[in-house]
Amino acid sequence: MRRRVAITGMGAVSPFGYGLTAMMDGLYSGRCPLSPIPANQKIEHVDCHVAGLVPPFDAKIPREIKRSMSPMSIFSWLAAKEALESASVHERKNVGACVGSTLGSGREIEAIFRELHSSGNLDQSRSMTFFKIMGHTVASNIAISLGLGGRTISPTSACATGLQAIGMAYEMIAFGRSEIMLAGGAEEFSFLASATFDKIGVASRETDPHKASQPFDERRIGVVCGEGAGIMCLEEMESAKSRGARILGEIKGFATLAAGNLAMLEAEPAEECMRMAIADAGMKPEDISYVNAHATGTRMGDIAEGKSIESIFGTKAPVSSLKSGLGHTLAASGSLELAACIEMARRNSLVGQPYGFMPDRECGHIRYAQSGEPLGGKAILKNSFALGGIYSSLVVTGSP
């Protein structure tokens, strides 16, 4: 017996700043939040110049909470608090967390190895270093700082982390293992991500932030790394209704699978994953009224995803990628973009491809969403794929 799972709260920290409203206002405005990478975070011969960095803001976090947090845990703490507040969840003993990141803090990893290399010892290493580097740093920090007492698990799958975490949390609730979960992904900008994309030849080398991230556009030249955190509050539907919670949306189906290529997104497994998620939701392709693509702006990846979307939907479902607006927030991307989808449903207004978009015909014969286009009242399919051959797709409905 599968229980229904509601989305009752959402929180976001994105390159547009703190809060879901800031992200949505930014996405609808078409404003570019990408910026030049600061000189002190650049590496010789790594040819990336632009990133989607969270603008500085004063989070006012008590030291005893902040001490074990690198930036991505701070982003997550803020997003989780926003999600809990919007869900009006006050009793947290039974709330769990399923939140991951690509790595532990890249900045702390860099710092500790720099110290070891320069001094030959770790005498100056602080007690909190490990708590920022450990793989479950974000989930642990959220759980402890917010007093969560439910199951706390930290899935990690690079750029698919956020969506996989939501999918896992959905299944935990749907199959009766949890009642209420905070779920999502977090990322902080570090040299490692941009250098990795550059090394394998898929990073954007554009210096103009406005032209750097252009998914599905014939002028696209690669990925722009970003940072942030997207956290959702998921809850068993009947329990949410009985306490009078506002139902923002419902997760209807989820699928994830692995395929053979480490670094190259392939159309066939992407199509299989989407079809599995639609079937898991008990739906058919015609029930999907919008596809929120993973599309990161790589030449081959966007072609593979576009063609897989074409195979299932043809030109029936409008498609867009939010990474022209947000950059690629990696582990946070799935959850941030899913939160944006739920908001699009609530406002009945899609965020389409940006002004001046020049579709690449090689990405398949698909229909791109127009900004402001109504959703059509049906379900949304969200894709998140990752280096390492990971595919995930999730089907949601929103509540207008």
- Selection from 332, 265, 286, 346 nearest residue 78 by Cα: 332
Is residue 29 within the footprint of another protein (CB under 8 A)? no
The three-class DSSP label of residue 320 is strand
Q: Does 58 bind another protein (CB under 8 A)?
A: no
Min dist. Cβ of residue 56 to another protein (A): 18
The CB-of-108 to another protein minimum distance in angstroms stands at 14
The correct pick among 124, 261, 315, 399 for binding another protein (CB under 8 A) is 124
State yes or no: is 48 an active-site residue.
no
Residue 21 vs residues 7, 18, 29, 158: alpha-carbon distances, Å? 17, 8, 12, 26
Cα(349)–Cα(344) distance, integer angstroms: 5
Here the tokens at position 51 are: 């990133």
Rg (CA), the chain: 20
Cα dihedral: 77, 79, 81, 87 (round 10): -150
Residue with tokens 């030249």: 221
SS3 category, 141: helix
Shortest distance, position 92 Cβ to another protein, whole Å: 22
Q: Angle at CA 281, nearest 5°, toward 277 and 284?
A: 85
List 126, 205, 284, 316, residue binding another protein (CB under 8 A) = 126
Q: Does 63 bind another protein (CB under 8 A)?
A: yes
Q: Which of 120, 127, 260, 361 binds another protein (CB under 8 A)?
A: 127
Q: Are strands 50-51 and 367-368 parallel, antiparallel or unpaired?
A: unpaired
Residues 260-299 interacting with another protein (rule: CB under 8 A): none
Tokens 């053979």 — which residue?
A: 260
CB of 301 to another protein, least distance (A): 43
Find out whether 321 and 27 touch, Cβ atoms under 8 Å: no
Query: By C-alpha distance, which of 234, 94, 257 is closest to 174?
Result: 234
- Pick from 64, 90, 242, 355 the residue near another protein by CB under 8 A: 64
Marked catalytic residue, from 98, 159, 233, 363:
159
Could you confirm whether 90 is annotated as catalytic? Answer: no
Yes or no: say if 352 and 318 are a contact pair by the CB < 8 Å rule: yes
Active site residue 32: no
Does 118 bind another protein (CB under 8 A)? Our answer is no
Beta-bridge partner residues of 228: 187
Residue range at the interface with another protein (CB under 8 A); choices 125-133, 161-169, 284-292, 364-372: 125-133
Q: Based on the shown chain and the rule CB under 8 A, indicate whether residue 134 belongs to the binding site for another protein.
A: no
60 forms part of the interface with another protein (CB under 8 A):
no
Comparing CB distances to another protein, the nearer of 88 and 124 is 124
Catalytic residue among 136, 233, 294, 341: 294
Contact 395/253 with Cβ under 8 angstroms? Answer: yes
Interaction of residue 123 with another protein, rule CB under 8 A: yes
- Which residues are CB-contacts of 360 (< 8 A; sequence separation ≥ 6)? 216, 217, 218, 220, 302, 303, 306
Rank residues 125 and 349 by Cβ distance to another protein and give the closer one.
125
Q: In the set 128, 134, 144, 263, which binds another protein (CB under 8 A)?
A: 128
117 binds another protein (CB under 8 A): no
45 binds another protein (CB under 8 A): no
Q: Does 144 bind another protein (CB under 8 A)?
A: no
Interface residue list for another protein (CB under 8 A): 63-64, 67, 123-124, 126-128
Question: What residues are annotated to the active site?
Answer: 159, 294, 328
